[in-house]
Amino acid sequence: MKNKTLLQIAKDYGSPVYVYDAETITSQYKRLINAFSKVKQLRLNYAVKALSNISVLKLFNVLGAGLDTVSIQEVQLGLKAGFKPENIIYTPNGVSLEEIETAAKFGVQINIDNLSILEQFGTKYPNIPVCIRINPHVMAGGNTNISVGHIDSKFGISIHQIPLLLRIVKNTNMNINGIHMHTGSDILDIDVFLYASEILFETAKHFKNLDFIDFGSGFKVPYKTGDIETNIEELGEKLSKRFNEFCKDYGKELTLAFEPGKFLVSEAGVFLAKVNAVKQTTSTVFAQIDSGFNHLIRPMLYGSQHEIINISNPKGRERFYSIVGYICETDTFANNRRINEINEGDILSFKNAGAYCFSMASNYNSRYRPAEVLIYNGKARLIRKRETFDDILNNQIEIAL
């Protein structure tokens, strides 16, 4: 996205504002499709939690994707966006049996990661197809905050519990049509992922009527110059070959499924914020922006690094700045970062703001959540209005005292 375009969007829609590029999303989707072109049946289920705006979901529906959902509300959003129930997989964690039953009534693919819930659901609904989420006890990346495959993870059914799992399936005579795993985000080593895949293949051999194997996702994208990323093309070549071999031995052509989120939308998004003030202390120059962790919490929550560009002065002399927000907490986006000279009123662009950014926004300090804009066919379109004071009061009940 060109600086001129982004500055115009900030002018037209105000700041802060999230901006997404449909062309980048489409390119990333096609890149995955091409990487696994040797697989006869491929299903990419976009992870709604990464960016759940209904207009973005409609774009993925047009592209031919399915949806990976983790709540009944995400299921409803997917249906509202036009997805067929059979193209939605519902993979909750820690929810009640009642919520799973509600999802089943919608007709979506159920994915269960709890032995107790599996037995209860299988006993009541033995004919409804169910996928089982396995924990392979393999960590994807180095950050335990975003790796969910380790042995102490709350996600998935441990591979060490397979005998008990098989007994439940036999006793309930339930219909298992899929096997699933998700090791977490930021896959650094393809060989580690392939190792986890072998565990999934071994597990799949226990079930004779599978339709698909879901390998999760967690593909890493670069967040800064020189940053590493998951080699999708190499993974596609190696996993496709192994998957095809497995299908031949299994005696049935299965669907290979993934549930990418960050990979598809992270690089497609930028976050624009205006500099309210430049404040110099004895040791630091702060650029204070009209935002905070109420809009973009990832740097504070995960220590993630978003490249920050002064699009109002892209050729200015570089200086060191700490970028901070207006929240009454420590909300530091960057410490002593080299950025082109910043003046009050400048617009800063935060890159890689498409995934897990707006979707984690809040009204902390009673601040409004920002607007969202989608650039589609070269035209900027508002896809979420900026909140107002009425939105802050909505659902609050003022009692007489």
Catalytic-role residue among 131, 247, 328, 357: 328
- What mean pLDDT is predicted for residues 117-133? 97
- Tell me which residue of 258, 212, 229, 242 sits closest to 33, measured CA to CA: 258
Whether 131 sits among the annotated catalytic residues: the reply is no
pLDDT at 140 over 60: no
- Quickly list DSSP for 63-91: HT-EEEESSHHHHHHHHHTT--GGGEEE-
Q: Go through the domains of the chain in sequence order and give each one's CATH number.
A: 36-265 (3.20.20.10), 269-383 (2.40.37.10)
Say if residue 151's pLDDT is above 60: no
**Residue 34 pLDDT grade (very low, low, confident, very high; cuts 50, 70, 90):** very high
Decide if pLDDT at 149 tops 50. no
What number is the average pLDDT over the span 367-395?
97
Amino acid at position 302, single letter = Y
Check whether 193 has a pLDDT greater than 90: no
Q: Which tokens sit at 39?
A: 């697989």
In this predicted model, what pLDDT tens digit does every residue of 204-229 receive, in sequence order? 999 999 999 999 988 888 887 778 88
pLDDT at 146: 39
pLDDT at 226: 77
Q: Report the C-alpha dihedral over residues 78, 95, 172, 254, rounded to 10 degrees.
A: 40
Measured between alpha carbons, how far is 292 from 295 in angstroms, rounded to an integer?
A: 6
pLDDT band for position 192 (cuts 50, 70, 90): confident
At 185, the pLDDT band (50, 70, 90 cuts) reads low
Average pLDDT of the residues in 371-380: 97
How far apart are the C-alpha atoms of 153 and 281, rounded to whole Å?
A: 43
Q: Look up tokens 């509600």; give the residue.
A: 102
What pLDDT sits at residue 186?
A: 65
* Per-residue model confidence as pLDDT tens digits over 268-321: 999 999 999 999 999 999 999 999 999 999 999 988 899 999 999 999 999 999
Looking at per-residue confidence, does 137 or 363 come out higher?
363
Using the predicted structure, report yes or no on whether residue 143 has a pLDDT greater than 50.
no
Mean pLDDT of the chain: 93
- What are 320-357's pLDDT values in tens digits? 999 999 999 989 999 999 999 999 999 999 999 999 99
139 pLDDT band, cuts 50/70/90, is: low
Mean pLDDT for 137-163 is 68
pLDDT tens digits, one per residue of 235-260 = 999 999 999 999 999 999 999 999 99
